[in-house]
Chains A and B, each alone.
Chain A
């Protein structure tokens, strides 16, 4: 069963090939057996999962099957789940049992999905390797000495190894697409505002977007169909009607204009990665798409702009973790200030503290104009360049990441090199555009991802492109070493 995609499992459930309970038990068994090699889950909610599966079976029997009825999924531990620990990968929230459900948790449950557990992640989604988690690094199922990418590394590794057919994730600077690329899964970051942020623990509010990971573009379309929609509790979530993402999947690509930004193929890019991306473009061209060279001259400023804006927002968003109302509180505080300082010093890990310090500095009196305001101007500039590009083309494509999965610990002493790994993904966050990463080949036996960026709210189009690609290729069916037992 686990070698099937979410879409295929959905059909199997509908046909009655197996029950939701059987599916749930099967995947729980896989998690039990295989996750010790990966560390992709921080919580397994077997009991609730079985109850939800039974409820899904009962709903189907009544003829009330939802869009995701009986399908096992996992939620990234950044999403609040009522009654279940929601740690965000941090010691700070190791004891935090969320008192409410995130909007996407509500929506997916309403659609009949069965939650099997919560996936590991970089602490507060700050990281590109899943090494900053309080619960230890997640390992890449293609090579367990390597990282799966981050921050949604747990979701990526679990989906890649087929411990779960699909998982939610979040993307602030590439946290869905980069791990999707590094583990060979399909990951979708929707347009900013398409999916509610209610209940998603904030890292950088103007960039954070909830999305999905699965083993095909069609699966992501199915998931987005259930996740997307207006939520009055998130002021930045739009009221615009939700498109039919499944309906456009099969649309032929004839006439499609694909923009190829030179900036996504820099001179020092690993040529093997460039070759895989070009091969993917050639396949789409073969299907009738036209390749158009475009320019995004300021996109090289994405990383520096991002590493001012995101930490600035984070420094404020993470101020609520003060030991007063929930979360970690230090032992025997001498006084109020001691409680604040020690709770935060002891509760946060090194990368989180680094970003809080950077962000605090960027917002400080006398530095605000030079850093934060300047970064916002760069952001506007980059957004405008994307907008101009979309006057000429329908989608933009290039490699998702400049490199394949690296070794665990390889970049621990060099955060800036690690930050550069997000150079191709951050632009879509700064502009708020939808983007996905799909598997497009192997280099040294490790997955390579290709990114498709769409215009605002054109998720249906990028899913269509990826689906047509996956109809003609098998990269999305390639299996990693861990869990490759058919």
Chain B
């Protein structure tokens, strides 16, 4: 029996506005609990919301980035339910008339396959606060719950996709694409670990070819691509096992624990809330004019898809490499600056995707915090190009620069890494290597061409050893080729 997986996403994106969606309080992450909760955020009696214009602008930009219909008139509604970190007893959100209508994004899998994912809509809403279940105890030592309302009222857009994804990999590609879009257009900082983007995944399975969708479950609040992929795979396996054992899937909300790679049911459909949505009487409908839309469109930077295409066309990069670079605006900016400084885009791309990305990953930092500037990377690549250093020595230079030893030129100078290109000096060293290894040289001369090829590397290695890697490899090759064939003393 073959099963097909069907996945839809609901993505919460915190908009990077300075203040909250309905109050003037700051949205900065990591402040003392409740130090960024205003009267409005605390839902003090008599307080009223005032819509943050910037949040609307950012939401519209998202809509334009995915070619969606923009809601010329959108309406905030109240979603009513009780929860301790929901101060008003309702969440102000949008339902019937969202700010962003249907749109579409294109995702690309690692094998290069492309696929469209339809966006059902995206709406503006406010984030809730946080319940803190540790660190609070009453006089008897009983555990208590603390409430931090700093996050309450942080502007969000919730992006809802159609159930267009057919595997965990596609879902992750979609999530990455959305991450790429929202960070590229500057509406979200993209810091997943801080909760700036959170994913709910709706998962169902059905028999191959069955036109009817299976019963779905929703796994909430996944905040890394890795957890998202693992959580989907776990849920797909659970559903298939259950169905193959003759069971049925219950529509429910599930919670995934990334530490243990396990999930549990949080609530079933039966105990779902009736949210009693109705238009919020404290807020006027949001009216967006065509002029507003055109002004915001003009503010949009080059979008990831367009940039990827340009990188391929302009720099001759592979589609895949161009995609990796263009997917993150900061990385793309870094790459373009390095390419310009280096005068060689392909080399720059290799370094950015390879060593730079590797070091950033290892250090757990982002490209914005990269200790090696794009200009320095460019300079280093230039030094490879002009023969000052070899690619191998460049690795040393790169590391030294990364560790703050100076610009590439300074490091090359200070460490004496300049390539040895003086033929006279090299000749002496080559002669010495052949003399020191007379037996091997003898054997080389006696060997056939195939064997010679294998043995040649030994002599190159010896020369490099003596020159501490600074010898120009082309020259070494040429000299060795010439000298090894000569009969000693001839």
Contact = CB atoms under 8 A, between A and B. Distances in A.
B43 interface: yes
Given A234-B48, A326-B44, A360-B276, A336 B84 contact: yes
A324 B278 contact: no
Nearest to B39: A100
Interface in B260-289: 274, 276-278, 281-284
A3 interface: no
Nearest to A234: B48
Contacts of A325: 42-43, 87, 147
Interface string B45-62: 111111100000000000
Interface string B80-94: 101010011110000
Interface in A211-252: 232-236
B51 A319 contact: no
B441 to A, nearest CB: 85
Nearest to A206: B281
Contact of B39 (A93, A99, A315): A99
B420 to A, nearest CB: 73
B72 to A, nearest CB: 19
Interface residues of A, number: 44
B78 interface: yes
A123 interface: no
B284 A235 contact: yes
B134 to A, nearest CB: 16
B276 A363 contact: yes
Contact of B282 (A98, A102, A235, A312): A235
A43 interface: no
Interface string A83-126: 00010100001001011101000000000000000000000000
A340 interface: yes
A88 B44 CA distance: 13
B46 A236 contact: no
Contact of A365 (B50, B82, B90, B274): B274
A235 B283 CA distance: 6
Q: Is the interface of B mostly helix, strand, loop or mixed?
A: loop
B272 to A, nearest CB: 10
Nearest to B78: A316
Contact of A235 (B44, B50, B82): B50
A365 B277 CA distance: 9
A96 B39 CA distance: 14
With a 10 A CB-CB cut-off, give which of A79, A315, A321, A325 has the most chain B CB atoms.
Answer: A325
B281 A205 contact: yes
B52 to A, nearest CB: 11
19 contacts: A86-B46, A93-B45, A98-B46, A198-B46, A198-B47, A205-B281, A233-B48, A234-B50, A236-B284, A313-B278, A315-B80, A316-B80, A320-B45, A320-B89, A325-B87, A326-B45, A336-B84, A340-B82, A368-B276
Interface of A: 79-80, 86, 88, 93, 96, 98-100, 102, 197-202, 204-206, 232-236, 312-313, 315-316, 318-322, 324-326, 336, 340, 360, 363-365, 368, 372
**When A and B form their complex, which 8 residue pairs have the shortest distance between CB atoms, in order from nearest?**
A319-B89, A363-B276, A206-B281, A205-B281, A199-B46, A320-B43, A201-B45, A80-B46
